[in-house]
Chains A and B, each alone.
Chain A
Amino acid sequence: MTRAALGAGTLEMLILKTLDTGVLHGYAIAQHIERLSKDVLAVEQGSLYPALERLQAKGWVTSQWKASPTGRQARYYTITASGRKHLGAKKTEYDRVALAVARVMRGT
């Protein structure tokens, strides 16, 4: 099965959506996205961490080091209020585009 790579903007949107459900570390974010997408969407670490840094640089996400269940220290990410606002805007836009694409593809 070939997996679909994600554009930077899309990945950011998915990360924000994932973090909207709770505080997670990077690996868990990737797992969450891959699991919910039934392994169709691949989250490469090479794009995950830069994306997380971008999100932090934009102030949409903050992070904090905490002990993970395995006992190791891990960085846990939290979505910020402005991150949620951005997510809302992205979701509206995504719904509009997705619906439009779907209409065109179905040819109705």
Chain B
Amino acid sequence: MSLWNGLRYRLRALLRPARHTRELADEMDFHLELEARQRARLSGDARAADDAHFAAQRRFGNRTYLHEESRRMTAFEWLDTVNRDARFAARSFRRTPGFTAVVIITLALGLGVNTAIFSALHALLLRPLPFDHSEQLMNVSLTRSGNTTRGAGSSDAIVWSVPKFTMLRDQQRVFSELGIFGPDEVTIAGDTHAAERVEAEVVGGRYFETLRVRPIIGRSFLPEELDRAGAPATAIVSEGLWQRRFDASRAALGSTIDVDGHPHTIVGVMPSSFSGLTGRSQIWIPIAAEYPGDLTEAWNLSYAGVARLAPGVDAARAESAVRTIGARIDAATPYPIGHEQWGAAARPLDATRVDPAIRRSLFVLAGAVIIVLIITCANVAGLLIVRASRREREVAVRLAIGASRPRLIRQLVTESVLLSLAGGLLAIGLAAAGVRVLEALNPASTLRLQNLTGLGVVSFSRITLDATTLSFAAALAVITGLVFGLLPALRGTRPSLVEGLTTARRSKRHGGLTGRGLLSVVEIALAVVLLAGSGLMLRSLRNLLGVAPGFDASQVLTLRVNVSSDSSAKAATNDYYQRLLTSVSSLPGVTAAALASCPPLNGGCNRTWLELPDRAPVPAADRPIVSVHWVSPAWFATMRVPIVGGRTFGIADSRNTRRAVIVSQTAAAKWWPGRDPIGRPVRLGQGGFNNDTGVVVGVAGDVKYVSLDSPPAADMYLAYSQSQRPATVVFLRTAGDPNALRASVERAVRAVNVNVPAYDVRTMDDRAGDATAQARFGAVLLAVFAAISLLLATIGIYGVISTSVATRMREIGIRVALGATNAHVLRLALGEGVSFAVLGAVLGIVGAVAATRVLSALLFGVVPADPVTYAGTVAILGAATIAAAIAPARRAGRADPMRVLREE
């Protein structure tokens, strides 16, 4: 209790100083009064009271001093000491602005990149999902090939069809709620505003109930709205859309909104904090209303599943239950083609929030910034050691006159913490800028459309500086200050320093690893690791960028349209497409225009089975799978994809003629090796073939549709004029900057049909950029970190060499006087620094060979032990060492023996 009593007393004195002082004064007045009265009584003379009062006051002593004394007694003494130490440190830093600036900037770099990367890790991996008890949420998915060991979220995970999901829902006993959703884009119209294209989620099951989100007004979907085809169509809108299109009026409830050409009754408004598991949805529509056919199609796989664990059920039990049910679902609805065995899997939603590849590169980057932080600490510690050696006399004097060593160490550590706090402040500015760059580079945001399992799509992952990341920065600054401050403080206050008083300049110990040298070896070694790593990533990125995608992306503007939002356009799709092409082709600046169902580098397109009627028939289950694309005749010319054999589509290819097929070179080589595919019959599982047989009319160059680093696929092209698709991508080759045409193109599309707006308007370069986004993310950031660490390591080498030269000037001077050659002097001056660099490089390369193995999954076309990268690393390090050595070497070369000796 005494501790508490004492603490309370101190706190009161500290927090209410005025009151404390006043009470003290009252108490002393009381004392004085009693004292005076006592004296008056003793002398028996009432008039002596005044004298007595003065006497008492004299005896009382100096009141102000008393107050100060009392304050010193009661206040938290250490707080006061820290304050004084900090002031002292600040004064001494003002005297050495150059040193201080270098240290603070170094720290700001180290802490800044750490804070920025931490905020990315926090946003993408660590921050709890924004749902009530999100730890109970599981992602449930189908798995291909029955392999459930990797489970949901892995590349094996597949989205659900409604019937398969319903089987899971009805058979399970481990979840309290389950729901499914599919990302979608819809055109909304119907109120007084212009038609617009918005992100949507098509939902089924108890999606909102599973996530425990409630509308701010209105209600959630009713069961019959969700699972009964033909039920009145309803919609729930986001708060933003409600404000934008309905002026936040309650009258919006019950009114209709036109979704893809169909009226939907608005039944609820979701709060702005909720934008679905896609993180971008502005409107929610029941599957039954938007895609009624999906309710019965067991193989229409479009929906990601989410479930909430029932009370008392843990994730492991749910996983095994889902696996068991998965086998039953597979038995009930076997895979229609091939012998694949499918299953189902569940795993915590939190674990599926980003693509595993992004997770991997985030961890690599986290490792890299920790290395940067270690280098930063080593560098600053090195600088502080140099500073301490200049202050040896000061420290020695203070030790000699009785300052205790712990007291001095505390002073020095206060200095380093002060520095790191200053660096930390600057770092927050740097991190804020870094976070903006990261948000722009954020590979999760560019990949989310491509990953339809829904889970990479989770993008409530805006990278921002928030309270957590700022506390992280503050904590990091303090810890860093302690770490890099302690070594110099311990070294700088060695008791042997008292010798420093007796000899004007001690002769330095030569050779061997001094603390400073050891630090610079560590710095160099770590910098080499980062250099090698970033070299590998950059070479990998260069390889990726060097891949020929099979088309010419420059000066191409792309946009999407979807005719399903307008019944007239949908009824006459071919006519609509024809008018659309005519309209946009005639725009000034457009040199060619064409349509295709799927843009290249998009992560994949429609796939279906292939049958070759002129071969021996294969069982339906064994038919090969190919990708199919619907294109307009000018597409190959517009995208500059060569037709290497046969012809492109033409006006002659109409609904009344035989289906024409153009195959890619890879497809030609695969199905007709060594033979001419032109004129060969093919049948495809889709595309309005209706069991008709098509004929190969041409062979086109390979185009990368999935990604740059995947091998070319067997693609087949069909003519729009022979089988339409409701959605299409328009490609416009332009004479100038494609971005300049955006507005006029959007106007032209609206002019063709006001209910079919253009959306997703982007240049092809931009789309292609997405394909390298993840590689860029890793490579660019690693390169930045490597550059920072190289810079810091160079400063470190410079420090070692210049200190060594400074302390050996006398020796050098004498040697010059004795006739040493210039080369000899240089060797003397630089020997230590260069040998540290070599040692660091050797250690670094050994470390890099081990460390870069973690990169192998992120590399493309380069092995972790790439000799070119290592040669480059060594060359860069060599150049850095030379750069660091130039100035000190010149100083040594100018050593004037007379002056050096005179200074002695």
B1/A81 in contact, CB under 8 A: yes
A56/B6 in contact, CB under 8 A: yes
| Contact code string B1-35 (vs A, CB < 8 Å = 1, else 0) | 11111110110010000000001101110110111
Q: A79 CB to closest chain B CB, in angstroms?
A: 11
Q: A57 CB to closest chain B CB, in angstroms?
A: 5
* Contact residues, A34-81 vs B (CB, 8 A): 44-46, 49-50, 53-54, 56-60, 62, 65, 68, 70, 72-75, 80-81
Q: Does B675 reach chain A (CB closer than 8 Å)?
A: no
B33/A26 in contact, CB under 8 A: no
With A26-B31, A74-B27, A80-B1 given, is the CB distance from A45 to B59 under 8 Å? yes
With A27-B31, A44-B61, A72-B33 given, is the CB distance from A50 to B2 under 8 Å? no
4 nearest A-B pairs in the assembled complex, by CB-CB distance: A59-B2, A82-B2, A59-B6, A59-B5
Q: A53 CB to closest chain B CB, in angstroms?
A: 5
Q: Does B66 reach chain A (CB closer than 8 Å)?
A: yes
Q: How far is the CA of A33 from the CA of B60 in the complex (A)?
A: 17
Q: B38 CB to closest chain A CB, in angstroms?
A: 8
Q: How far is the CA of A84 from the CA of B449 in the complex (A)?
A: 74
- Residues in chain B near residue A68, CB distance under 8 A: 30
B30/A80 in contact, CB under 8 A: no
Number of interface residues of A (CB under 8 A): 28
A49/B5 in contact, CB under 8 A: no
Residue positions of A touching B, CB distance < 8 A: 25-27, 30, 44-46, 49-50, 53-54, 56-60, 62, 65, 68, 70, 72-75, 80-83
- Residues in chain A near residue B1, CB distance under 8 A: 59, 80-82
Q: Which residue of A lies closest to B5 (CB)?
A: A59
Q: How far is the CA of A80 from the CA of B1 in the complex (A)?
A: 9
A58/B27 in contact, CB under 8 A: no
- Residues in chain A near residue B7, CB distance under 8 A: 59
B35/A58 in contact, CB under 8 A: no
- Residues in chain B near residue A50, CB distance under 8 A: 66, 69-70, 73
- Residues in chain B near residue A53, CB distance under 8 A: 13, 70, 73-74
Q: How far is the CA of A74 from the CA of B26 in the complex (A)?
A: 8
Q: How far is the CA of A60 from the CA of B5 in the complex (A)?
A: 8
Most chain B beta carbons < 10 A, residue from A45, A74, A75: A45
Interface CB pairs A-B, < 8 A, 5: A45-B60, A50-B73, A58-B2, A72-B30, A75-B23
Q: A68 CB to closest chain B CB, in angstroms?
A: 7
* Contact residues, B548-574 vs A (CB, 8 A): none
Q: How far is the CA of A46 from the CA of B32 in the complex (A)?
A: 12
A57/B73 in contact, CB under 8 A: yes
Q: A61 CB to closest chain B CB, in angstroms?
A: 8
Q: How far is the CA of A26 from the CA of B33 in the complex (A)?
A: 12
With A46-B66, A53-B74, A72-B33 given, is the CB distance from A83 to B26 under 8 Å? no
Residue from the list A49, A60, A70 in contact with B70, Cβ < 8 A:
A49
Q: Which residue of B lies closest to A68 (CB)?
A: B30
Q: Which residue of B lies closest to A62 (CB)?
A: B5
Residue from the list A45, A58, A73 in contact with B28, Cβ < 8 A:
A45
- Residues in chain B near residue A65, CB distance under 8 A: 23
Number of interface residues of B (CB under 8 A): 30
Q: How far is the CA of A73 from the CA of B25 in the complex (A)?
A: 12
Q: How far is the CA of A60 from the CA of B224 in the complex (A)?
A: 75
Q: A77 CB to closest chain B CB, in angstroms?
A: 10
A57/B74 in contact, CB under 8 A: yes
With A45-B60, A56-B9, A57-B9 given, is the CB distance from A74 to B2 under 8 Å? no
A27/B9 in contact, CB under 8 A: no
Q: A19 CB to closest chain B CB, in angstroms?
A: 14
- Residues in chain A near residue B62, CB distance under 8 A: 46
Q: How far is the CA of A83 from the CA of B23 in the complex (A)?
A: 23
- Residues in chain B near residue A62, CB distance under 8 A: 5, 9
Q: How far is the CA of A26 from the CA of B34 in the complex (A)?
A: 10
Q: Which residue of B lies closest to A72 (CB)?
A: B30
With A59-B9, A80-B2 given, is the CB distance from A25 to B73 under 8 Å? no
- Residues in chain B near residue A57, CB distance under 8 A: 6, 9-10, 13, 73-74
Q: B45 CB to closest chain A CB, in angstroms?
A: 20
| Contact code string B272-287 (vs A, CB < 8 Å = 1, else 0) | 0000000000000000
- Residues in chain B near residue A27, CB distance under 8 A: 30-31, 34-35
- Residues in chain B near residue A30, CB distance under 8 A: 31
Residue from the list B2, B6, B31 in contact with A45, Cβ < 8 A:
B31
Q: A27 CB to closest chain B CB, in angstroms?
A: 4
Q: How far is the CA of A70 from the CA of B30 in the complex (A)?
A: 10
Most chain A beta carbons < 10 A, residue from B3, B34, B74: B34
Most chain B beta carbons < 10 A, residue from A30, A49, A60: A49
- Residues in chain B near residue A60, CB distance under 8 A: 2, 6
Q: B73 CB to closest chain A CB, in angstroms?
A: 5
Q: A35 CB to closest chain B CB, in angstroms?
A: 12
* Contact residues, B738-792 vs A (CB, 8 A): none
- Residues in chain A near residue B3, CB distance under 8 A: 59
Q: How far is the CA of A65 from the CA of B2 in the complex (A)?
A: 20
With A27-B34, A56-B9 given, is the CB distance from A49 to B28 under 8 Å? yes
- Residues in chain A near residue B31, CB distance under 8 A: 26-27, 30, 45
Q: B65 CB to closest chain A CB, in angstroms?
A: 8
- Residues in chain A near residue B69, CB distance under 8 A: 46, 50
With A44-B61, A45-B59, A72-B33 given, is the CB distance from A54 to B73 under 8 Å? yes
Residue from the list A45, A59, A73, A81 in contact with B26, Cβ < 8 A:
A73
Q: How far is the CA of A25 from the CA of B32 in the complex (A)?
A: 13
Q: Which residue of A lies closest to B61 (CB)?
A: A46
Q: How far is the CA of A58 from the CA of B74 in the complex (A)?
A: 9
**Known pairs A46-B62, A62-B9, A72-B30. 11 more at Cβ < 8 A?**
A27-B30, A45-B60, A45-B66, A46-B60, A56-B6, A56-B9, A57-B6, A57-B9, A57-B74, A70-B33, A70-B34
- Residues in chain B near residue A80, CB distance under 8 A: 1-2, 5
Q: How far is the CA of A91 from the CA of B23 in the complex (A)?
A: 31
With A57-B9, A59-B9 given, is the CB distance from A83 to B2 under 8 Å? yes
- Residues in chain B near residue A83, CB distance under 8 A: 2
Q: Which residue of B lies closest to A74 (CB)?
A: B30
B6/A26 in contact, CB under 8 A: no
Q: How far is the CA of A54 from the CA of B35 in the complex (A)?
A: 23
Q: How far is the CA of A54 from the CA of B60 in the complex (A)?
A: 19
- Residues in chain A near residue B6, CB distance under 8 A: 56-60
Q: B503 CB to closest chain A CB, in angstroms?
A: 41
- Residues in chain B near residue A26, CB distance under 8 A: 27, 30-31
A49/B66 in contact, CB under 8 A: yes
Q: B850 CB to closest chain A CB, in angstroms?
A: 56
Q: How far is the CA of A27 from the CA of B34 in the complex (A)?
A: 7
A45/B61 in contact, CB under 8 A: yes
* Contact residues, B37-94 vs A (CB, 8 A): 59-62, 65-66, 69-70, 73-74
A49/B4 in contact, CB under 8 A: no
Q: A54 CB to closest chain B CB, in angstroms?
A: 5
Q: How far is the CA of A80 from the CA of B5 in the complex (A)?
A: 9
Q: Which residue of B lies closest to A45 (CB)?
A: B60
Q: Which residue of A lies closest to B35 (CB)?
A: A27
Q: How far is the CA of A45 from the CA of B61 in the complex (A)?
A: 8
Q: Which residue of A lies closest to B30 (CB)?
A: A74
- Residues in chain A near residue B65, CB distance under 8 A: 46
B10/A44 in contact, CB under 8 A: no
Q: How far is the CA of A54 from the CA of B27 in the complex (A)?
A: 16
Q: B56 CB to closest chain A CB, in angstroms?
A: 9
Q: Which residue of B lies closest to A63 (CB)?
A: B9
Q: Which residue of B lies closest to A61 (CB)?
A: B5
Q: B737 CB to closest chain A CB, in angstroms?
A: 75
- Residues in chain B near residue A45, CB distance under 8 A: 28, 31, 59-61, 66
| Contact code string B341-366 (vs A, CB < 8 Å = 1, else 0) | 00000000000000000000000000
Q: Which residue of A lies closest to B10 (CB)?
A: A57
Residue from the list B13, B27, B34 in contact with A75, Cβ < 8 A:
B27
- Residues in chain A near residue B61, CB distance under 8 A: 44-46
- Residues in chain A near residue B26, CB distance under 8 A: 73, 75
Q: Which residue of A lies closest to B9 (CB)?
A: A56
Q: How far is the CA of A72 from the CA of B27 in the complex (A)?
A: 10
